[in-house]
């Protein structure tokens, strides 16, 4: 456990929030050359990941999975639909529910991106066990934050 004195608590290098911000920014930067050729932003990419994992998913469920509100998610989905990667349609059982599915073009994109993201993991030069543990730790931190809102 790292102990930080009261006088040093507000130093940037002692802030977990800054470390998380900087790592997130740099990881997203690493994805840019993989996503740019397909006209994707990182937010669009993670949205596709969530859809690919579900086949058909409601916009509400996507928002929960991605921790995004509808004001952020709706433009992302509209753009993905314009690019031909997804379809949005009302649920025939309940028209209040908007469902999202991938198109054939979206499924083909999944195959193309798989190779690029595998290459990215190799670039990081961190073994998979360490990455799995890091993800587990970060997921645990996220759960704690959400549970204590």
Q: What is the CATH number of the domain that holds 51?
A: 1.10.10.10
**Which stretches in the chain have pLDDT values below 50?**
none
- At residue 88, the pLDDT reads 97
User: 136 lies in a domain?
Assistant: no
Q: What is the pLDDT of residues 48-78, one digit of tens each?
A: 999 999 889 999 999 999 999 999 999 999 9
Please answer whether residues 143 and 135 qualify as being in contact, where contact means their C-beta atoms are separated by less than 8 angstroms.
Answer: no
63 membership: H or E segment, kind and range? helix 59-66
Please give the structure tokens belonging to residue 138.
Answer: 């970060």
- At residue 1, the pLDDT reads 56
User: 80 lies in a domain?
Assistant: yes
- At residue 148, the pLDDT reads 94
| Domain that residue 71 falls in | 34-116
Contacts of 64-72 with CB under 8 Å at 24 or more apart are: 68/43, 72/43
Please give the structure tokens belonging to residue 52.
Answer: 């690919």
For the chain, what is the domain count?
1
Please give the structure tokens belonging to residue 134.
Answer: 């890091």
User: 138 lies in a domain?
Assistant: no
User: 139 lies in a domain?
Assistant: no
pTM: 0.88
User: 100 lies in a domain?
Assistant: yes
> Among all chains, which residue has been given the structure tokens 């009261």?
6
């Amino acid at each position: 456990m790292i102990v930080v004195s009261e006088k040093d608590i507000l130093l940037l290098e002692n802030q977990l929030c800054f470390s998380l911000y900087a790592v997130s920014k740099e990881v997203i930067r690493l994805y840019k050359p993989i996503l740019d050729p397909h006209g994707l932003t990182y937010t669009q990419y993670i949205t596709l990941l969530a859809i690919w994992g579900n086949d058909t998913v409601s916009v509400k469920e996507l928002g929960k999975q991605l921790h995004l509100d509808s004001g952020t998610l709706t433009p992302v989905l509209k753009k993905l639909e314009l690019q031909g990667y997804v379809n949005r349609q009302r649920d025939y059982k309940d028209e209040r529910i908007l469902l999202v599915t991938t198109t054939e073009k979206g499924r083909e994109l999944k195959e193309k991106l798989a190779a690029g993201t595998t290459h990215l993991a190799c670039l990081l030069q961190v073994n998979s066990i360490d990455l799995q543990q890091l993800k587990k730790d970060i997921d645990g931190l996220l759960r704690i934050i959400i549970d204590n809102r």
